[in-house]
Amino acid sequence: MVATKVKSIDQKVIWWVGAFLLLVTSYFNSKTQDPFNSPKFWVLLLGGAWLLGHLISFHKQSHSLNSKVLRFTQILLLLFIGASTLALLAADNSQIALFGDNMRKNGYLTYLALAIFFWAVAVFINSSNLIILYRFILLSAYVVGGYALLQMSGNDFINWSSSGMALFSTLGNSNFAGSAMALLAIISLGGAYVYRKDQITFWLSLIAFGILSITIFPTNARQGLLLLAFGVASLFLVLIYNFNKKLGLVGLIFAAFGFILSILGMLQVGPLERFLYKDSVSVRGYYWRAGIEMFRDNPLFGVGLDNYGSFFKEYREVGYPLKYGYSLTSTNAHNVFIQHFATGGIFVGTIYLILTAFVFWRGLISLRRFEMDERVLRSVFFIAWLAFQAQSLISIDNIGISIWGWVLGGVVVGLSVTPINEQIISQQAKQKNRVRKNQLGLLQPVISTFFTALTLVLVVFLYRADSAMFQQRAAYNPAAPAQKDIFYQLAQKTLKAPLQDLQYKVMTATYLHGMGFQQEALNLLEQLHLEDPYNLDALTFLASFYENLGQVDNALVAREKISKLDPWGANNYLQMAFNYKYLGNKVQQQNYLDKVLTFAAADPMVIKAVPELTTQN
């Protein structure tokens, strides 16, 4: 289905974009510690490196007659990457800022690669070569929907340890899967109309839409269902508008009203509340407000790219731990715009807002400038992009979804400047292929191979580190002392792996302790605390290990540091009170008990601890 004969430069670039879009969406590796985010991150980096060679070699041979729009797009993307670079340099934890947080991977390199994808699509897409990208999108729909059908039928070829959760397809999370299915379904349905004269493409598109419409329900993702409903309704409104503008405008008003009611219902307001509200929306309010506070305290460069999780407990409201527990945390603001401001600062957040507004404006221009099928063609991708932006208000920038938002953004911008006269495009393509064809044809593979080779070395290191952690976890078994030596060797392999995730090192310390290597675990945690003073997990385990070893004074030092990073940690204050009771310091014991009682007196954990801490020795 994707074996399109590639001739022009434009077609080559779009073919590569489509291929990597498919791979990022569908690829996962069950033999790595992070089977979804890390593999998608690696493919994204390789794709960005390869496309960078095309941009350097061929960007002056773009299809557009209106280069001012593309130049402005390039400026926005360069400003975004430049601002992100400053935020990277200012971050306390540069490793997280560069590679992204554990199980997220939304660091500097991710957004650099996404910006390259956006730029490549915006420069080289046109309504003639769009069919190449659409075929890859259709194939992605079959992969995501097909694997979802396998999971629904109980025939998943991988025995996931969390197989009891809702359907997650190739995205690793049911909410992400629901959103991805909605985006793919919207494009498939629109594509069925746009390419209706091609019977094969028409029926393949309708079947893909049917599969995705069926599999989206077991994800239990309401956001996915709302996005699908929004997309389908919007597509029909565009068709109505094509044939009757007045009727289309009336429909648009009703649709906008319904969309607003739906958003309010999700936020626990209005008549649709009982149908659309979920408790997970309320908890997002805590995430949003914490992110806003992070930005207020760090307005220039934020707390560090993707470092939200390191500071969440410091900025969370007291109501959050009282309602959801003291150990529960978050590593993301669950709102892409707040996340950028909180972790990247004013420049990153503002430029991202401007870029988003610019894509929206170019989408509106397309709807006004083009007529009939040309309008529908552009509407399909604009509506899908709008759906992506809608889910980004309450969700995480997951790589498997984010690449769609950035690619669709490039499509919207690129198609908004495509000449209507396809004969002009054809003449341009022939002329461009003649201009320095031999030099450019040789230059591009050399540059692309150079960047990809460098990136491949990085990816190999990252893969080995993730794989080593997976092997160590598989060998961890405190009930099997005979495995201690094997486990220890794998633990050392994990720690020696270049570019190892700091959170995996913390996990290794806990596993070492569980297997009886207590001193090694303690030494490792002390080292990790020096490397990352904001890592609460390392500090918490370190305090606990000190207490197990009877080093109460050291434990109190660690817990004092925890109290600054987690000011509403009632469990930490209670443990400090117990430690002071152990030392016979009744004054400090009472001080920390009183501190807990000021905000968590009704908590069952506190109620249980009070008699023990008030009983005389």
* 196 in the same domain as 281: yes
Residue 612 has pLDDT above 80, yes or no: yes
* 438 in the same domain as 385: yes
Residues 299, 349: Cα–Cα separation, whole Å:
10
- The region of weakest confidence among 57-61, 319-323, 434-438 is 434-438
Residue 2 has pLDDT above 50, yes or no: no
- Cβ 225 vs Cβ 217: under 8 Å: yes
* 497 in the same domain as 425: no
Q: Where are the beta strands (DSSP E) in 498-575?
A: none
- Cβ 380 vs Cβ 138: under 8 Å: no
Question: Of 450, 485, 500, which one is at a domain's C-terminal end?
Answer: 450
- Of 249, 239, 340, nearest to 299 by C-alpha is 340
End-to-end CA distance of the chain: 78
* 490 in the same domain as 445: no
Q: How many residues does the chain have?
A: 617
Q: Structural domain of residue 582, as residue ranges?
A: 464-614
DSSP 87-129: HHHH-SSHHHHHH-STTT--SHHHHHHHHHHHHHHHHH--TTT
Does residue 527 form part of some domain?
Answer: yes
- Of 231, 245, 143, 222, nearest to 192 by C-alpha is 231
* 270 in the same domain as 121: yes
- The region of weakest confidence among 54-68, 316-330, 534-548, 603-617 is 54-68
* 471 in the same domain as 416: no
For residue 59, the model assigns a pLDDT of 63
Does residue 457 form part of some domain?
Answer: no
Residues 345, 294: Cα–Cα separation, whole Å:
9
Residue 568 has pLDDT above 90, yes or no: yes
Dihedral, 531, 534, 536, 539 alpha carbons, nearest 10: 50
More confident residue, 147 or 280: 147
The confidence band for 8, taking pLDDT boundaries of 50, 70 and 90, is confident
- Cβ 117 vs Cβ 406: under 8 Å: yes
Across residues 495-511, what is the average pLDDT? 96
* 68-112 pLDDT tens trace: 888 899 999 999 999 999 999 999 999 999 999 999 999 999 999
Q: Which residues contact 415 (CB under 8 A, 6 or more apart)?
A: 125, 126, 127, 130, 366, 377, 378, 381
* 553 in the same domain as 507: yes
The confidence band for 272, taking pLDDT boundaries of 50, 70 and 90, is low
For residue 426, the model assigns a pLDDT of 47
Question: Of 427, 450, 473, which one is at a domain's C-terminal end?
Answer: 450
The confidence band for 284, taking pLDDT boundaries of 50, 70 and 90, is confident
Does residue 485 form part of some domain?
Answer: yes
* 535-567 pLDDT tens trace: 999 999 999 999 999 999 999 999 999 999 999
3-state secondary structure 372-420: HHHHHHHHHHHHHHHHHHHHHCCCCCCHHHHHHHHHHHHHHHHHHCCCC
- The region of weakest confidence among 218-227, 264-273, 520-529 is 264-273
The confidence band for 500, taking pLDDT boundaries of 50, 70 and 90, is very high
Can you tell me whether residue 604 is helix, strand or coil?
A: helix
Question: Of 386, 416, 450, which one is at a domain's C-terminal end?
Answer: 450
100: left (phi over 0), alpha (psi -120 to 50) or beta: left
Percent of the chain surpassing pLDDT 70:
87
DSSP 311-370: HHHHHS-THHHHHH-SS---SS-SSHHHHHHHHHHHHHHHHHHHHHHHHHHHHHHHHHH-
The confidence band for 142, taking pLDDT boundaries of 50, 70 and 90, is very high
Residues 299, 346: Cα–Cα separation, whole Å:
6
For residue 263, the model assigns a pLDDT of 63
Residues 199, 447: Cα–Cα separation, whole Å:
40
For residue 280, the model assigns a pLDDT of 61
Mean pLDDT for all residues in the chain: 88
Count of structural domains within the chain? 2
For residue 487, the model assigns a pLDDT of 96
Q: Which residues contact 212 (CB under 8 A, 6 or more apart)?
A: 141, 144, 145, 181, 182, 184, 185, 188
* 402-423 pLDDT tens trace: 999 999 999 999 999 855 444 4
* 492 in the same domain as 430: no
Residue 434 has pLDDT above 70, yes or no: no
Does residue 491 form part of some domain?
Answer: yes
Residues 612, 299: Cα–Cα separation, whole Å:
45
Backbone angles phi, psi at 83, to 5 degrees: -65, -40
- Cβ 270 vs Cβ 281: under 8 Å: no
For residue 274, the model assigns a pLDDT of 59
More confident residue, 71 or 271: 71
Across residues 190-205, what is the average pLDDT? 94
For residue 423, the model assigns a pLDDT of 43
Q: Which residues contact 115 (CB under 8 A, 6 or more apart)?
A: 77, 80, 81, 406
Across residues 2-9, what is the average pLDDT? 54
Can you tell me whether residue 481 is helix, strand or coil?
A: helix
Largest Cα–Cα distance of the chain, in whole Å? 93
* 546 in the same domain as 404: no
For residue 206, the model assigns a pLDDT of 96
Q: Which residues contact 12 (CB under 8 A, 6 or more apart)?
A: 6, 54
Hunting for tokens 């929206």 — which residue is that?
Answer: 360
Residues 362, 413: Cα–Cα separation, whole Å:
6
* 516 in the same domain as 417: no
DSSP 8-state secondary structure symbol assigned to residue 217: G
* 478 in the same domain as 360: no
For residue 384, the model assigns a pLDDT of 95
- State the Cα angle at 172 between 178 and 38, rounded to 5°: 130
Percent of the chain surpassing pLDDT 90:
70
CATH code of the domain covering residue 542: 1.25.40.10
Does residue 59 form part of some domain?
Answer: yes
- Of 224, 136, 231, nearest to 177 by C-alpha is 224
Residues 473, 464: Cα–Cα separation, whole Å:
14
3-state secondary structure 551-611: CHHHHHHHHHHHHHHCCCCHHHHHHHHHHHHHHCCHHHHHHHHHHHHHHHCCCHHHHHHHH
* 491 in the same domain as 433: no
For residue 617, the model assigns a pLDDT of 53
Does residue 455 form part of some domain?
Answer: no
Residues 401, 229: Cα–Cα separation, whole Å:
18
* 336-391 pLDDT tens trace: 999 999 999 999 999 999 999 999 999 989 888 888 888 889 999 999 999 999 89
Does residue 196 form part of some domain?
Answer: yes
Is the CA virtual torsion 547, 549, 553, 555 positive or negative? negative
Does residue 132 form part of some domain?
Answer: yes
For residue 570, the model assigns a pLDDT of 94
